[in-house]
Amino acid sequence: MFENGIKPKIIVANWKMNPVSFKEADNIIRTVKNGIKISENVKVVICPPYFYIPNIKGGKSFDIGVQNIFWEDSGAYTGEISAKMAKEMGVGYAIIGHSERRMHLGETDAIVNLKINSALKNNVKPIFCVGESQKERDEDKAGDIISNEIEKGLAGVPSGYLVKDLIIAYEPIWAIGTGNTPTSDDIMSMALLIRKVITKLYDRKTADNLPIIYGGSVNDKNATDFVEKAGMEGLLVGGASLNASEFVRIVNLF
């Protein structure tokens, strides 16, 4: 993840189940390729629907990620795609444990753990999502929820994988797609909590070097604050990543 001693900011585009045609997807890709400034200071990862991946070539502009993987390499698992298959397609990253999958598709911490281990085994870098709901936050349980998700999600993951192959994305569920965002201090506090948990599970050096990025209603107006004021090492961008011009502006901020 490090090039020439520089630790780049990581900007991830999560297209979710969008857009509805490859023509639209291609228009976004063309605008992004033409607009972003290629720099060692920024690592861009675009995660489109699986269907579009064979027709998207990142090259020097960006890497390709997937929005989900299954935990087995192959088998009778109708509708699923494995990390091994993703790697064969040239995919380097996988979003794992996104709150929408936990909420709508019943993904548990145990399932997330299986997927993380499968991704790492197949040299696909997990973008491991953790975060609390509004209710959990109101009940002052956010810290416990995130600590539990990390501990269970990383069960059995050797320390050698952590710094070079794992990204943790803090995405408060109540901020996703709502326009509501935590304060910079709140985000910084959660990042410190995440590093504290990683220190307990592994060691301080691993915790200090693990990339932590923020996701939740990111746009070109607040992106700089999340990175510079909250001290995050990148962003997981949802809706704004489908607006190619806005996504380019976000990337070029760094």
Measured over all CA atoms, what is the biggest interatomic distance in the chain, rounded to whole angstroms? 47
CB 94 within 8 A of CB 69: yes
Residue 23 lies inside a defined structural domain of this protein: yes
At residue 177, the pLDDT reads 85
Percent of the chain residues past pLDDT 90, beyond the cut: 91
pLDDT band of residue 235 (cuts 50, 70, 90) is very high
For the chain, the distance separating the N- and C-terminal CA atoms, rounded to the nearest angstrom, is 17
Nearest to 206 by CA among 176, 235, 168: 168
The DSSP H or E segment spanning 189 is helix 184-201
Could you read off the pLDDT of 96-108 as tens digits, one per residue? 999 999 999 999 9
At residue 231, the pLDDT reads 93
Residue 1 lies inside a defined structural domain of this protein: no
User: What mean pLDDT, rounded, does the chain reach?
Assistant: 95
Of the candidate ranges 73-82, 103-112, 139-148, 171-180, the one whose mean pLDDT is the lowest: 171-180
Mean pLDDT value of segment 184-189: 95
222: phi > 0 → left, psi -120 to 50 → alpha, else beta; which?
A: alpha
Domain that holds residue 95: 9-252
pLDDT band of residue 5 (cuts 50, 70, 90) is low
Residue 54, token pair as written in the block: 């064979």
Residue 167 lies inside a defined structural domain of this protein: yes
CB 167 within 8 A of CB 127: yes
pLDDT at 2 over 90: no
User: SS3 helix, strand, coil % of the chain, rounded to 5?
Assistant: 45, 15, 40
Residue 4 lies inside a defined structural domain of this protein: no
pLDDT at 186 over 50: yes
Residue 126 lies inside a defined structural domain of this protein: yes
Identity (one letter) of the amino acid at 108? T
Question: Angle formed by the axes of helices 109-121 and 142-153, to 10°?
Answer: 40
Residue 215 lies inside a defined structural domain of this protein: yes
- Whichever domain contains 53, its CATH number is 3.20.20.70
Residue 91 lies inside a defined structural domain of this protein: yes
pLDDT at 19 over 70: yes
At residue 178, the pLDDT reads 86
Q: Please state, in angstroms and as integers, the Cα–Cα distance from residue 125 to each residue in 18, 104, 182, 240, following that order.
A: 22, 24, 27, 23
Enumerate the active-site residues.
Answer: 98, 171
Residue 3 lies inside a defined structural domain of this protein: no
Indicate the length of the chain as a whole number.
Answer: 254
Could you read off the pLDDT of 32-50 as tens digits, one per residue? 999 999 999 999 999 999 9
Give the phi and the psi of residue 124 in degrees, each rounded to 5. Answer: -110, 125
At residue 160, the pLDDT reads 84
Domain count, the chain: 1
Nearest to 142 by CA among 193, 73, 67, 72: 193
What sections of 123-174 are H helices per DSSP?
134-138, 142-153, 159-165
Mean pLDDT value of segment 127-131: 98
SS3 state at 78: coil
SS3 state at 129: strand
